[in-house]
């Protein structure tokens, strides 16, 4: 999506809200390999976002669920590390250890003159969930101790596995949708540096009806990006997921999707 967490576009939305007497209090953001596009926010865009947060007096809820799954390039500084006073850093053990764990963590804003969010969060959580199950906490603690207290080290084998899966899906896309005249393709896609998804741009709109047609007639499920959006900017985009698929599955699925695309272009 062209306007992924665009600070300029966000300013416009905030000012429109302010003109109606409303106020933004917090922004939820997944700056690293966001679902569904696997786009990431650049360092410059992160600093611009934080500058806007200071100017307009709102907090950023920085979800780092996919941050550990980088396959190439250098990591970009988290917004929390750039401005700790404006950011709630949200982390997940469900993605970085295993989904059934359903456990995460929050690092609240810090700095002179700030109220103690940590104390208030702990009190609110104790009233809502009573307590995180002791067994889940023990699983996380044990795995961290075994891996030198590093989620990065713990996930290294998975990162290598996901890298191979991403590369295989990209190879399948290149083979099934080859370059045509003027080095163009009927279907184009991004090459995300991390995350679990690849985003495709199609030459036609792809929504819920098209998803059902593709699944029923060609036996492959492809998710429209519009299902993740409140706007219609992504009407021609779809999300592909490779994290839980084998190489043969990916090969077969991309071949079937090519057949669907060709049927639509006839």
What mean pLDDT comes out for the span 67-85? 95
Q: Quick check: 1 pLDDT over 80?
A: no
Helix residue spans in the chain (DSSP H) = 7-19, 43-56, 79-82, 93-96, 117-129, 134-146, 151-176, 208-218, 247-265
Q: How confident is the model at residue 110 (pLDDT cuts 50, 70, 90)?
A: confident
Residue 252 has what pLDDT?
98
Q: Determine whether 35 is exposed, middle or buried from the number of CB atoms within 10 Å of its CB (0-12, 13-18, 19+).
A: middle
Cα end-to-end distance, the chain, whole Å = 27
Q: Kindly state the percentage of the chain with pLDDT values over 70.
A: 97
Compute the distance between CA of residue 40 and CA of residue 251 in angstroms, rounded to an integer.
27
Domain 157-265 has CATH 3.90.1150.10: yes
Kindly tell me if the per-residue pLDDT of 184 is higher than 90.
no
**Residue pLDDT, tens place only, 4-43:** 688 888 999 999 999 999 999 999 999 999 999 999 999 9
Pairing of the two strands 26-29 and 59-63: parallel
Would you give the distance in Å from CA 241 to the centre of its chain? 12
Global pTM value: 0.89
Domain ranges of the chain: 7-146, 157-265
Indicate the class that CATH gives domain 7-146.
alpha beta
Amino acid 4: pLDDT: 63
Greater model confidence, 96 or 259: 259
> 147-158 pLDDT, tens per residue?
999 888 889 999
């Amino acid at each position: 999506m062209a306007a992924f967490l665009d600070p300029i576009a966000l300013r416009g939305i905030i000012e429109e809200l302010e003109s109606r007497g409303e106020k933004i209090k917090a922004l939820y953001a997944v700056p690293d390999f966001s679902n569904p596009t696997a786009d990431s926010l650049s360092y410059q865009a992160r600093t611009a976002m934080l500058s806007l947060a200071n100017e307009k007096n709102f907090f950023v809820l920085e979800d780092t669920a996919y941050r550990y799954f980088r396959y190439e390039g250098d990591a970009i500084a988290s917004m929390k590390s750039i401005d700790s006073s404006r950011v709630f850093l949200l982390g997940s053990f469900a993605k970085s250890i295993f989904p059934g764990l359903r456990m995460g963590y929050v690092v609240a804003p810090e700095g002179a003159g700030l109220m103690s969010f940590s104390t208030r969060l702990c009190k609110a959580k104790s009233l809502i969930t009573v307590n995180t199950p002791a067994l889940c906490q023990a699983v996380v603690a044990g795995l961290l101790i075994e891996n030198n207290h590093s989620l990065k080290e713990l996930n290294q084998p998975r990162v290598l596995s996901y890298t191979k899966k991403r590369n295989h899906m990209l190879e399948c896309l290149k083979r099934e949708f080859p370059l045509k005249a003027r080095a163009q393709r009927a279907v184009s896609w991004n090459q995300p540096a991390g995350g679990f998804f690849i985003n495709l741009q199609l030459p036609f709109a792809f929504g819920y009806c098209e998803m059902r047609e593709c699944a029923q007639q060609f036996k492959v499920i492809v998710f429209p990006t519009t299902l993740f959006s409140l706007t219609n900017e992504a009407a021609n985009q779809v999300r592909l997921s490779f994290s839980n698929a084998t190489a043969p599955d990916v090969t077969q699925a991309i071949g079937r999707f090519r057949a669907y695309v060709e049927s639509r272009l006839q």
